[in-house]
Structure 1
């Protein structure tokens, strides 16, 4: 049994917890009070006015003029994310982090210790609420697709369990847009077939779907049957280490995308060092508004776990290796591949001074963060962060 744990309005919830005077008020994280920039997160009080993440701040403030605009504190959110991960590890070591605020868990081996999957999910939610004063939504299901879909259906504060013998009963009434990979373009094409729900799509023949949508159609058809054979991959078993984030709406701001890419790169570097591995290939992943997905990669001169070296490679891919098309991005991610144990690469006679300096800075920052929390240290201008 798989669980998808997703924090509700994470950035905004952390701000409202840390500043009790904000509770019950419309809060926007990101952008400026003058309406510049893009919304990174919005409290549910702001969402009632139509505000959502990735929306231009100017439009958000027109919808909700009384909103309180707060500058993001990524260091703080990363610190709280670590605390959430510590809670999750009480229940299973089979954890695959996706971003600061969500992760997949395989709790199959934990049932004998903690009880049924629904009870484990309930305990996780209670621990997060009692210890961190935050709210998580959890989906419980036989696979990743169903678990993630379940966690999103009844937000906030959701606990949705998909019975393994009632999967089609769960899926069939939902709109076909709930299938991973169905964006605006694909949804319009499916609508032309007279199909609106997953149940209607499921009853199409696999051949008909593949003829219409190609390889992508095969994936959609299997998801409509509730089939997803991807397993939860913990860090220690991963052939690559990556982080990605999906935006609620398409993001067009190059500046905001670079900022998210930087955040993800920092997380990847920390995980590499925590697992004591290095990697040689850096990969950038983008999914556009039409759900077409591209990857770009580059191979480094030597394996690394140094955040700045990964960032320079990722930024180069982002700035110079993307196709010449309009920047409307639904997902961005960065990963490091060709992993090997850090100890397999002994020091050479002539070490690169810049590498040694950055590696030393990473060791110090990791130690300080581990001892005093993420707020104790933030990256400087080397990585383009304020």
Structure 2
């Protein structure tokens, strides 16, 4: 187990139904209504669902058609990402009042290392309560939190008392907490890996812990080492501010399937504009351009090209995706097109997390 001198205090803050909550905040008539952001009852995918909609089984990444079947009274609204970013910045400003060691995972969640914090508060639990209360008082939005000695445990803990709650897993509780978890809760264990573990008789954290390092490496390669550590509540990954972005993307799902490449090229112009804008906003450029095509049968195809030089130029990106689109025949009519730029020339270097110890530890 982690020694006293190495213990960190990590908070994972997760906004509750963030996109839907912002919509309900800005449009009071939507309050307490089953709401889906994104998609429609005919097309598209749900990006977020209010808790009123979740009671019916509506979830993010679900098709709009399926969501409407589950909840006939479901209200669909178009996402307003500029607004969500605006609110997210205000939330980030609150985080920064407590610590500069903030690692955003998305617009609605982040890790905070408060081992040494600006408030001089020795209790990470109290800090999480203060942050959640400040978010609600200033923005009228609710957040949940997980508090523990590392990112792995803190993130899982933030789900336990949602919505509008928090859970602390103290140092002496970490191993028993991890032991009771379903292996699907572990980082890096998806559906396929979980099925493989089930076949090996590994269902919970304690089952995973009972496996030898050699056995886990033999079955899962390098990931086996990670699983071995996580089953013991060990996660040395630091909170990294200004995380380097690996790619930027934009995509669009169409109300009606497109069969004409001419219409597709027109749609790609708008998507290219959005990608170019995001690159400029992030002050970065990329070399690898990927065209994503989702067909009407939901099969997905990607086509990529790596350029000789970095670019954020609209014309270069559009001409590249145009070439990619026309390079091969399409398999079917198309319901979605997307463009992503990777191999970015990020110039910002993540700050090192040198905060690893504090004598007094109060959760």
Query: TM-score, normalized by length of structure 2?
Result: 0.72
Aligned length: 303
- Give, in whole Å, the separation in 2 of the partners of 1:29 and 1:179: 28
Q: CA deviation at 1:110?
A: 0.6
Question: Hey, what does 1:232 align to over in structure 2?
Answer: 239
SS in 1 for 2:132: helix
Find the partner of 1:105 among 112, 115, 124.
112
Task: Describe the superposition over 1:251-272 as per-residue Cα deviations: whole angstroms up to 9, x where unpaired.
Answer: xx9849x9999989866753x4
Question: Residue 131 and residue 112 in structure 1: after superposition, are their counterparts in 2 closer, same or farther (change >3 A)?
Answer: closer
Find the partner of 1:13 among 16, 21, 40.
21
Question: Hey, what does 2:258 align to over in structure 1?
Answer: none
Question: Hey, what does 1:153 align to over in structure 2?
Answer: 160
Q: CA deviation at 1:314?
A: 11
Whichever structure has more helix as a proportion of its residues is: 1
Structure 1 range deviating more: 215-224 or 67-76: 215-224
Segments of structure 1 that go 5 or more residues without pairing to the other structure are 246-252, 287-295, 321-331, 342-386
Please tell me whether the aligned partners of residues 132 and 143 of structure 2 are also in contact (alpha carbons under 8 angstroms).
yes
Are residue 54 (structure 1) and residue 61 (structure 2) matched?
yes
Q: CA deviation at 1:19?
A: 1.3
Are residue 241 (structure 1) and residue 245 (structure 2) matched?
yes
SS in 1 for 2:84: helix
Question: Residue 129 and residue 196 in structure 1: after superposition, are their counterparts in 2 closer, same or farther (change >3 A)?
Answer: same
Question: Residue 166 and residue 282 in structure 1: after superposition, are their counterparts in 2 closer, same or farther (change >3 A)?
Answer: farther
Equivalent residues in 2 for 1:1-386 (5 A)? 1-32=9-40, 34-110=41-117, 113-235=120-242, 240-242=244-246, 255=253, 269-270=280-281, 272-273=282-283, 278=284, 298=306, 301-302=309-310, 337-340=344-347
Task: Describe the superposition over 1:323-374 as per-residue Cα deviations: whole angstroms up to 9, x where unpaired.
Answer: xxxxxxxxx9976655447xxxxxxxxxxxxxxxxxxxxxxxxxxxxxxxxx
SS in 2 for 1:128: helix
Q: CA deviation at 1:77?
A: 0.8
- Give, in whole Å, the separation in 2 of the partners of 1:50 and 1:132: 28
Segments of structure 2 that go 5 or more residues without pairing to the other structure are 1-8, 255-267, 293-303, 327-338, 349-363
RMSD of the TM alignment (CA)? 3.7
Between 1 and 2, higher relative CO (CA 8 Å, sep ≥ 6) is seen in: 2
Question: Hey, what does 2:260 align to over in structure 1?
Answer: none
Max radius of gyration: which structure? 2
Please tell me whether the aligned partners of residues 287 and 309 of structure 2 are also in contact (alpha carbons under 8 angstroms).
no
Q: CA deviation at 1:301?
A: 2.1
Please tell me whether the aligned partners of residues 157 and 169 of structure 2 are also in contact (alpha carbons under 8 angstroms).
yes
Q: CA deviation at 1:226?
A: 1.3
Q: CA deviation at 1:161?
A: 1.2
Question: Residue 42 and residue 314 in structure 1: after superposition, are their counterparts in 2 closer, same or farther (change >3 A)?
Answer: farther
Q: CA deviation at 1:195?
A: 2.0
